[in-house]
Amino acid sequence: MSELKNDRYLRALLRQPVDVTPVWMMRQAGRYLPEYRATRAEAGDFMSLCKNPELACEVTLQPLRRYELDAAILFSDILTIPDAMGLGLYFETGEGPRFKKLADNKEAIEALPIPDPEQELGYVMDAVRTIRRELKGEVPLIGFSGSPWTLATYMVEGGSSKDFAKTKKMAFAEPQMLHMLLDKLADSVILYLNAQIKAGAQAVQIFDSWGGVLSGPAYEEFSLRYMHKIVDGLIRTYEGKKVPVVLFTKGGGQWLEAIADTGCDALGLDWTTNMHEARQRVGHKVALQGNMDPSMLYAPVPRIEEEVERILGEFGHGEGHVFNLGHGIHQFADPEHAGAFIKAVHAQSAKYHK
């Protein structure tokens, strides 16, 4: 594998010196780009796009042709693992993900297999290998997975949820059943992410999209414990290079110290957490990623530039900041505004790295 031409993203995650603050966007390959919509139409539907390594590579690279991003992120979905466990993932237009079968009772959970990442999830590994080859060492490739708690909510509820009533009922009425599911998911994620690393992912991120719906004690028991297990089980150095691990709990700002204690390299922050306070609390231990509100991209460009400056100033001088949105870019964001955001991060951050 060739040496990276631009490694500032990996350096920032390891709190090493960089020339400017690196930037990428969650969901940077996605519906806000007309070229993505065209490729998705060519694929036929979302899952066909995910399962075609050449097209998954194409959409991964599309934002890098437009913007000077500091990382590519594998194009896939967090729900590939439950799909590979046999639950039958499909997408309803306007409704989001759905499963044909649920994991909402003891028998169903006991029957779930732990997928072999090179077999049932081989299409993801093929996509990683294809993307890594086509990147030609320009920027690093990020692999990812959903967190066990987040995956479990979809598997128990059967899809998206507003109140997570079935999953929380299981957590509090039959916790041993939920722990059995979370344990299987953690084992599956370890295998899945390690296979991505062996296939070419140079950093990995765990998306805990729904950890923030839990109380503090429940978060520790049902979400953080299993992310900690995953961090402990991951390959942290591969082919002589460190493989940084990022944990991102949306709504998790009150638990930063506990998340940092897992031994991960970086924490993702959503826009509700103050960057300066986060750095004071955990910045000596981990890098921080974030955290502009994705809705800010609807603002006029001067307002976006002002917000970039505010967040850079909140983090302040020194290393260990990867600029990102506080969640995925919105479907209706203007691609020109996304470009202005990325340029502003690079232009305005140099002074913080002297």
- 31 belongs to the catalytic site: yes
| Cα gap 165→249, rounded to integer Å | 20
- 40 belongs to the catalytic site: yes
- 310 belongs to the catalytic site: no
Out of 40, 98, 129, 281, the active site residue is 40
- 252 is an annotated ligand-binding site residue: no
- 253 is an annotated ligand-binding site residue: no
- 27 belongs to the catalytic site: yes
- 27 is an annotated ligand-binding site residue: yes
- 8 is an annotated ligand-binding site residue: no
Question: Kind of pairing, strands 245-249 and 266-268?
Answer: parallel
Alpha helices in the chain (DSSP H): 8-13, 34-43, 46-50, 53-66, 80-82, 106-111, 122-135, 148-157, 165-173, 175-199, 216-219, 225-233, 256-260, 275-282, 301-315, 335-349
CA dihedral 12, 16, 21, 22 (to 10 degrees): -40
Structure-block tokens of residue 45: 């539907």
Out of 8, 11, 15, 27, the active site residue is 27
- 132 belongs to the catalytic site: no
- 160 is an annotated ligand-binding site residue: no
Out of 36, 154, 192, 226, the active site residue is 154
- 31 is an annotated ligand-binding site residue: yes
Out of 37, 66, 77, 187, the active site residue is 77
DSSP three-state, residue 61: helix
- 279 is an annotated ligand-binding site residue: no
Residue ranges of the annotated binding site for substrate are 27-31, 77, 154, 209, 327
Catalytic residue positions, numbered: 27, 31, 40, 77, 154
Residue ranges of the annotated binding site are 27-31, 77, 154, 209, 327
